[in-house]
Amino acid sequence: MNQLSANLVTAATVRGEALALKCGAVTFTYAEFNDAAARVATLLGELGVGPGDRVGLMLPNVCEYPILFYGIQHAGAVAVPMNPLLKAREVEYYLANTSARVLFAVETFANEAQAGAQAAGTHCIIADDDLTERIATATPQPAPVDRTDDDIAVILHTSGTTGKPKGAALTVAGLARNAEIAARTLLSATPDDIVMGCLPLFHVFGLTCGLNAAVRAQSALSLIPRFDPRLVLDTIAADQATAFLGVPTMYSALIAARRADDDTSSLRVCCSGGSALPAQVIVEFEEAFDAVILEGYGLSETSPLASFNRPDIERRAGTIGVPIEGVEMRVVGVTGEPVGIDTPGEIQIRGHNIMQGYWNAPEATVAAIDADGWFSSGDIGTRDVDGYYRIVDRTKDMIIRGGMNIYPREVEEVLYEHPAVAGAAVIGVAHPTLGEDVAAVIQVKEAGSASADELRSFVKERVAAYKYPRHIWFVDALPTGATGKIQKRDIVIPDDVLDALVAIS
């Protein structure tokens, strides 16, 4: 049996009446959850979906998502999670790239989903009352379809910062073991826990460490369709949530939104991933919420967990911890050979968490995974003498100013230390003589204020002179993606900055 499906069947067998899913006033016990998933599997069979066929999921964090996802797993099919905000041409690409037979889409964005599905030749089903009725009247599939550990369970498309998105083909065993490790050693989850499901389930962090880990631990999952800090804080208090998973921008937002009378005392553990968490944010959050944050690291291609700061060993703020069990990591130089302690290089990963490959992209797969099974992450990091890893930056984000390498992450850390800074993104801008110059986009706190000159001086005092941002501008909000991660590719350089650069030449 598919191990993911087996986890749900086991939970329904031993804790059938326990709460499994909650979204607002809508709830499902584990027995109801598994029964609905079994009915979805029957419906998929009636639609001609068989083992290995691809099925798109284009929904926000509502109870239908876990039910459809596990229905796909029960049917032995492959889930293709998709952002519900995708436009028709993007929907068409995802579906065509995977030859998906069916797409389940949220009613709110039905037009884009249907247009994209029609262009790709995919049958589109809107998640509305009619679908609910079809599921309720279907006969439950007696048992999940058998799948091997090496069979593909999910195809997750990368963010596509360069070129078209690639579909990371994740196996049954890779996802199941990642979820088990997340539940046992990261969350230390038990059936008494309530996990906050704020991270999108169409993102690998939310899917594995939220949904699949909760099912593995037989915990309850409280879903938030769209992240809103006030709603999250109110839900933590109402549900007495014990675990929270988020990205750095979420933690910053919760700090800003928290009131003195908010009851967050139930929080036991918080986990951060997606991008590096500024040290200052860790300090402020833990002081305000009296809950520890465990920072980790992973990618779509690694299911996602590769390393994290475990609660049972020394936690080192600012690091991504140590590799998870059964996984190796190393730092290599431009020649592909391992570099020394505390020396920057590209992080490579090998183990059970690595994807089978990029779907229908053999050349990209060979470029990413070498003959010995090492996956090249594209992230620049270091390893200290005790085996803790630290992310310095993405290779493509590195700024080369007059021949000097500058890692934006280092400058961002300093900016976050300024009391007025709520968000910061450091990027390279074209320079006629230096090649690139350093620029910073700043979002200030609601009650804060700062000038460009003040921030320049603040950073210049704390880093080498060639690293501080010469160009600084302010925005009401930094552009973020579906998971809340800052999207540097969407930053717009103001005309006055462009004019200043032209004047230099």
* pLDDT attached to residue 502: 64
- With H, G, I as helix, E, B as strand and everything else as coil, classify residue 168: strand
- The model's confidence at residue 503, banded by pLDDT at 50, 70 and 90, is low
State percent of the chain over pLDDT 90: 81
- pLDDT of 286 higher than 60: yes
Is residue 366 over pLDDT 70?
yes
List C-alpha distances in Å: 322 to 183, 241, 262, 330: 17, 27, 34, 11
Q: Are 356 and 152 in contact (CB under 8 A)?
A: yes
What is the mean pLDDT of the segment spanning 84-103?
94
Q: Round to whole Å and give the CA distance between 149 and 147.
A: 7
Average pLDDT for residues 76-95, to the nearest whole number? 93
Q: How confident is the model at residue 430 (pLDDT cuts 50, 70, 90)?
A: confident
Is the separation of the CB atoms in 52 and 78 below 8 Å? yes
Report the pLDDT value the prediction gives residue 74, as an integer from 0 to 100. 98
pLDDT at 442 over 80: yes
Q: How far is CA 324 from the centre of its chain?
A: 17
Give all domains of the chain, ordered by start, each with its CATH number. Answer: 3-381 (3.40.50.12780), 398-504 (3.30.300.30)
On the question of pLDDT at 160 being above 60, the answer is no
Residue 128 tokens, joined? 């509305």
Q: How many CA atoms lie within 13 A of 165 on its CB side?
A: 24
pLDDT tens readout for residues 115-129: 999 999 999 999 999
pLDDT at 505: 46
Q: Which two tokens stand for residue 377?
A: 């992450």
pLDDT band at 159 (very low <50, low <70, confident <90, very high): low
Place of tokens 């928290």: 258
* Band of residue 498 on the pLDDT scale cut at 50, 70, 90: confident
Q: Which of 143-147, 445-449, 478-482 has the highest mean pLDDT?
A: 143-147
Q: Which residue has the higher pLDDT, 274 or 20?
A: 20
Structure confidence at residue 504 (pLDDT): 61
pLDDT at 463: 85
Whether the pLDDT of residue 148 is over 80: the answer is: yes
Average pLDDT for 356-376: 96
CB 68 within 8 A of CB 59: yes
pLDDT at 351: 98
110 in helix, strand or coil? helix
Mean pLDDT of 31-39: 98
pLDDT at 434 over 90: no
Q: Kindly state the average pLDDT of the residues 475-496.
A: 89
Residues of the chain with pLDDT > 70, as a percent, come to 98
Q: How many residues does the chain have?
A: 505
Give this prediction's pTM: 0.88
pLDDT score at 446: 82
pLDDT band (50, 70, 90) for residue 161:
very low
Q: Quick check: helix, strand or coil at residue 261?
A: coil
What's the pLDDT at 406? 85
Which tens digit of pLDDT belongs to each residue from 315-361?
Answer: 898 899 999 999 999 999 989 999 999 999 999 999 999 999 999 99
**144, 41 Cβ separation under 8 angstroms:** yes
Whether pLDDT at 48 is above 90 = yes
Residue 249 has pLDDT above 90, yes or no: no
- Using pLDDT thresholds of 50, 70 and 90, give the confidence band for residue 401: confident
For the sheet with 167-171, list strands across it: 123-127, 102-106, 54-58, 78-81, 152-157, 167-171, 357-358
- CA gap 416, 275 in Å, rounded: 14
CA atoms within 13 A on the CB side of 500: 12
Which is nearest to 288 in space by CA: 258, 268, 318, 244? 258
Could you give the CA distance from residue 375 to residue 358 in angstroms, rounded to a whole number?
A: 12
What tens digit of pLDDT does each residue of 194-223 get? Answer: 999 999 999 999 999 999 999 999 999 999
Would you say residue 394 has pLDDT above 90? no
β-strand partners of 53? none
- pLDDT of 140 strictly over 80: yes
What's residue 163's pLDDT? 60
